[in-house]
Structure 1
Amino acid sequence: MNQQFPTSNSVDIMLFSEGTYPYVKGGVSSWILQLMKGLPEFSFGVCFIGATPYLDGELMQISYEFPENLKHLEVHYLFDDNDKKRPKAKRKKGNKEGFEAIEKLYKAFQNNSGEIPEVLKNLDFYTKEVTFDDFLHSELAWEFLTKIYSKNCPDVPFVDYFWTLRNIHKPIWTLANIVKNLPTTKIYHAPSTGYAGFIGSLASYTNNRPFFLTEHGIYTRERKIDMLSADWIEFKKPALLQQPQEYNYIKKMWITFFDKIGLFCYHRSNHILSLFSGARAIQINFGAPEQRTKVIPNGVDVDGLMKTMSKRKDPQKPIITLIGRVVPIKDIKTFIRAIKIASQTIPDIQGWIVGAVDEDREYVQECQQMAFALDLKGAIQNFDGNKSKLTIEELEKNEDKIKFFGHSNIKEILPKSALQTLSSISEGMPLVILEGFAAGVPCVATDVGSCRDLIEGGINSQDKAIGLAGAITGIANPDALAKEYVRFLNFENGVWAKAQAAGLKRVQKYYRQEMFLQEYRELYNEALSMTWDQLNEKRETL
């Protein structure tokens, strides 16, 4: 999809998109689009920040049409091929002030206190006091880096240490230069901490405008999980020769960096928003000022989705739908195993996997191979460059028990689904569960993110009294999932009907799109009606 990017000198709200809208479908991208379309009275900008222009080896493509009130879109990459075009480095002595600034930056990312050094808040530090070339090439900086290396991790290969340090800090200068050229903006808003949150916070410090943070997942926590499990930053050394402090030093550098970035965002935010109470508690535990935290649940188009119920057939086919990207964090393989187990009781059961298949092609192929190995086959739609695209109707007629639909219109999928499921090992607040409830589809999900709150009722006692809209199981437990599938698909026992009624009532009462949009409308209008001094005073006195 080739589209001309809109540009403007000024916007009401600038959203910072880290690897999401407008390239990657679903999740945070859907939320960003929902926010813009639902609040047409505001003009929006989107600043996309990606690692490289490629996804799974292919050039990324725009995945969304742009709403009329998206007035500005710019795209930046933190780790592209620009280094190949850089002029040859020149040796430089560096000046005392620049060296001291570099030392401050390094120590700012290494100390364990909650204090945010002033040097991190000053755009001139990155663009005038010390450039990235100074950081890489000055003799004084080099002397400092080698001293720290010798003190902390002399047995780690120096080249690993240097490139880790370089890759940690390079994006900071890139983001600072982006801030210099952003359009005039009244409110900055990021859907995560990390790089998106950092650029939003730095822009807020630079221009004295409010900054909102809405965390869909807890970025710092997720990055810790990534880093602790990553083998690409594992320093290998014979175990008998390792010292505990050096074994994870490279990983610790990354984790400390993201910890500090998270605090930087929390300390600057006027509002620190989350999607459910459990996420808010984690934010506070990670250093967010409690008085500035607030829960705003996601909302869905309840009325539009309820209309799809007229398309449901009776009796229903035993179709279980997993709506989500085909990536390891969604644990699609556990779902496939659960369908195999459940098929022993319900021979005509089907498992529909509805979500993008282009993010991790290797994992998609592994899932497909598992389906074939378990004699479930695995018809594929929207796979291999759309060369063999099948319609929903064609796939429905296919006799495979596992079917991959690719990214599809859920208003066509949900009326055909008896049950929705999530087998994820991590989630925030999945919109798909709410969308399923509004379309009359109960859900069986793993106990991650807000899934339990959505299914059992977690807002208040009245919400809990509505009843169960599905069931919760442990992660990576196909037997438990299969048991629930069989229980719900025995329509004669009344469990499915009660769950459908509970889901419909819950989503209508607590998760309407209008409620979600009104909360943001009020926050935006308040920020636009106050001076920076008034906003800052309110933030400090909360």
Structure 2
Amino acid sequence: MRICLIVEGSYPYVSGGVSSWIHSIINEMKEHEFVIFAIGADTKKRGQFRYELPPNLIEVKEVFLDEYMYEDKRWGKRYNLSAAEKGCLAALINGQKTLNWGALFDLIRSEKFRNVGDFLTSTDYFDLVEELGKNTYSEVPFTELFWTLSSMILPLFLTIRHNIPEADVYHSVSTGYAGVIASLAKHLYNKPVILTEHGIYSREREEEIIKADWLKGYFKDLWINYFYTLSSSIYESADQVITLFNRNKEIEIELGCKAEKIRIIPNGVDIESFNNVVAEKDDEIIRIGAVIRVVPIKDIKTMIQSFALVKQQVPNSVLYIMGPSEEDKIYDEECKQMVKSLGVEDVIFTGMVQVKDYIVEMDVMILTSISEGQPLAILEGLASAKPFVCTNVGGCKELIYGGPDDTYGAAGFVASVMNYEEIAGYVIKLCQDRKLRETYGKNGFERVKNEYKRSEFIANYREIYHSLGGEENGGYRLRTS
């Protein structure tokens, strides 16, 4: 069987998290061929893969959202759009969830749109923006509205015009641009589509937009509605929607996904590959570890502020921030500057490391994200019998405290987002109580061992692939030559 995984902003350019999840699926299912449709932000990243690609990954198709910068444009062209075509385009730029995606796909991929840049400098587009300005943004300068909308929809149009590799199953690992491409694949080839949402993409974009300094307030709703509109495409087209915990399912239903499509499959971890024995140490250092990418959504700055308070009460503590920093070099530099400005000692940015080698030495693990799905970092930490302090996002609370029928007990503490004092208080409590650390570590280990098995996670996806795109359904046979 040939499976096309559609990914945005992750594999194979970014390590950890969702990328590790994708890599493990491909490696575990050697009986299938995989194709990656990778959507990235920056053309400069082309070919800069962070993973050694498995032999059964036969193609990586790279598409970048900044490609529009390299297109020539002709001003003033007239497209003579029909009323239905104008309606599709107006629904997109107005952020309507009733958009006819099939009609929009046909229009954008037609000969009319051979050069997308020409459309966004056409009189037809000018008329659409003018109408939106009169009806909704009458107080906003027209030129600002024009260029804001252009920057919003041009990357989408160019992405839609790309060819999509043929496959038996299309599996999008988020909504957003990736979800639109999965919907397009179903429209073109009438093949089954799967969506897995680790975090709720549209909610994450909303959080980023609200905090964004580069976007003026009156355009924030425009962008937020746009991302919710993108998400609606795959909620409608997907044959199966998979999420990792019940709260995500509830949000998906709120956003318009039919409940009967949704199935919960938690992430899993191979418990045997982690050392769950508390290391004997020949020093008095308390090691606090964070397996994390140095990017804003992980809120490293709150972690540093928390550690500054911890250091006052636990002077023998050291914070290890373990993960790549290349993804957002400006943010990385801001975090390191914060360490200096606060005068905090013993904060170590390790960069990429073999997590299993480091995690065994840690006494306490910490995660301060402002948005998560069901973090592999927590699963791996608990598989190593380490207690956690994390923020109350995504499925973190369920991992630490368990569900309604849980019998294992707490595996740490869950704090409010961005509340560095609360986070610090919990970390200090664990640092000062070895017996509590050991108890919470054991509880977490038992929960992961019994409830989050990697073998079950892989088996569930194998069954879904087989049921939707197996050879009896006309699928490809794996090439052996």
TM-score for the superposition, normalised by structure 1: 0.81
* Offset of residue 156 of structure 1: 1.6
Q: 1:6 maps to which residue? A: none
Match runs of 1:59-208 below 5 Å? 61-80=48-67, 83-86=69-72, 89=74, 91-97=76-82, 100-110=84-94, 112=96, 114-117=97-100, 120=102, 123-128=105-110, 130-131=112-113, 132=116, 135-178=119-162, 181-208=163-190
Q: Which has the higher contact order (CA 8 A, sep 6+)?
A: 2
Amino acid at match of 2:29: L
SS of equivalent residue, structure 2 residue 204: helix
Residues 121 and 205, structure 1, Cα contact 8 Å, conserved in 2: no
Q: 1:23 aligns with which of 5, 10, 13?
A: 13
Code of the aligned partner of 1:475: V
The aligned runs of 1:138-537 (5 Å cut-off) are 138-178=122-162, 181-234=163-216, 248=218, 250-306=219-275, 309=277, 313=281, 317-377=285-345, 401-458=346-403, 460-461=404-405, 464-491=406-433, 494-529=435-470
- Cα displacement string for residues 403-452 of structure 1 (whole angstroms, at most 9, x for unaligned residues): 11112111111111011111222221111111011112111111111111
How large is the Cα RMSD of the aligned pairs? 2.4
Cα distance change of structure 1 residues 479 and 169 upon mapping to structure 2, 3 Å threshold: closer
CA 1:52–1:345 in structure 2 vs 1: closer, same or farther (change >3 Å)?
closer
* C-alpha separation in 1, matches of 2:28 and 2:254: 32
1:122·1:205 contact (CA, 8 Å) conserved in 2? no
Q: Distance in 1 between matches of 2:311 and 2:211?
A: 34
Q: Give yes or no for contact 2:90–2:128 (8 Å, CA) kept in 1.
A: no
Are residues 337 and 122 of structure 1, via their aligned partners in 2, closer, same or farther at CA, if it must alter by over 3 Å? closer
User: Could you say if the C-alpha distance between residues 515 and 231 of structure 1 is closer, same or farther in structure 2, counting changes exceeding 3 Å?
Assistant: same
For 1:437, give the aligned amino acid.
Answer: L
Shift of 1:528: 1.9
Counterpart residue identity of residue 201, structure 1: S
Decide whether the 8 Å contact of 1:53 with 1:60 is kept in 2. Answer: no
Is the Cα–Cα contact under 8 Å of residues 121 and 202 in structure 1 kept in the other structure?
A: no
Output the CA distance in 2 between the equivalents of 1:122 and 1:84. 23
Give the superposition deviation at 1:280. Answer: 1.1
The structure whose Rg is larger is: 1
Letter aligned with residue 332 of structure 1: I
Contact 1:328 1:363 in 2 (8 A): yes
- Can you give the 5+ residue segments of structure 1 that lack an aligned partner in the other structure? 1-10, 236-247, 378-400, 534-542
* Aligned position for 1:4: none
CA distance in 2, matches of 1:128, 1:496: 61
% identical equivalent positions: 33
CA shift, 1:303, in A, is 0.5
SS at match of 2:241: strand
1:153 CA displacement: 1.9
Counterpart Cα distance in 1 of 2:70 and 2:261: 44
For the residue of structure 2 that corresponds to 1:192, the secondary structure is coil
Structure 2 partner of 1:8: none
Aligned length: 472
Task: State the shift of 1:530 in Å.
Answer: 8.1
Q: Which amino acid aligns with 1:425?
A: I
Task: Please state how far the C-alpha of 1:284 moved relative to its aligned partner.
Answer: 0.8
**Alignment partners' CA distance in 2, 1:155 and 1:374:** 43
Q: SS of the residue aligned with 1:363?
A: helix
Q: Distance in 1 between matches of 2:304 and 2:118?
A: 53
Do the aligned residues in 2 keep the contact of 1:317 with 1:416 (CA within 8 Å)?
Answer: no
User: Retained in 2: the 8 A contact 1:109–1:260?
Assistant: no
Verify the 8 A CA contact 2:89 2:104 in the aligned structure 1: no
Report the Cα distance in structure 2 between the residues aligned to 1:133 and 1:84, rounded to whole angstroms: 10
Kindly provide the CA deviation profile for residues 499-523 of structure 1, in whole angstroms up to 9, marking residues without a partner as x: 1111111111011211110110010
Q: d(CA) in 1 for partners of 2:48 and 2:252? A: 33
AA of the residue aligned to 1:195? Y
2:478 aligns to what? none
**Per the alignment, in what secondary structure is the counterpart of residue 379 of structure 2?**
helix
How far is the alpha carbon of 1:191 from its aligned partner? 0.8
2:421 and 2:120 map into 1 onto residues whose CA distance is 54
Structure 2 counterpart SS, 1:370: helix
Map Cα deviations across residues 292-321 of structure 1 (whole Å, 9 max, x no partner).
111111111211113x63865477741010
Matched-pair contact (CA < 8 Å) for 1:134–1:141: no
Q: How many Å apart are 1:129 and its aligned residue?
A: 6.3
Question: CA distance change for structure 1 residues 227 and 478 in 2, over 3 Å: closer, same or farther?
Answer: closer
Q: 1:173–1:496: structure 2 CA closer, same or farther, 3 Å change rule?
A: same
CA distance in 1, matches of 2:389, 2:81: 61
CA distance in structure 1 between the aligned counterparts of 2:344 and 2:409, rounded to whole angstroms: 34
| Equivalent-residue separation in structure 2 for 1:360 and 1:60 (angstroms) | 18
Q: Distance in 2 between matches of 1:470 and 1:510?
A: 17
Query: 2: distance between equivalents of 1:518 and 1:441?
Result: 27
Matched-pair contact (CA < 8 Å) for 1:326–1:364: yes
For structure 2, the 5+ residue unaligned runs are 475-481
AA in 2 matched with 1:447? N
TM-score normalized with structure 2 length? 0.91
CA distance in 1, matches of 2:55, 2:235: 31
Displacement after TM superposition at 1:343 (Å): 2.6
Letter aligned with residue 145 of structure 1 = V
Moved more, 342-351 or 289-298: 342-351
Counterpart of 2:305, as a letter, is R
Distance change >3 Å, CA 312–CA 278, structure 1 → 2: farther
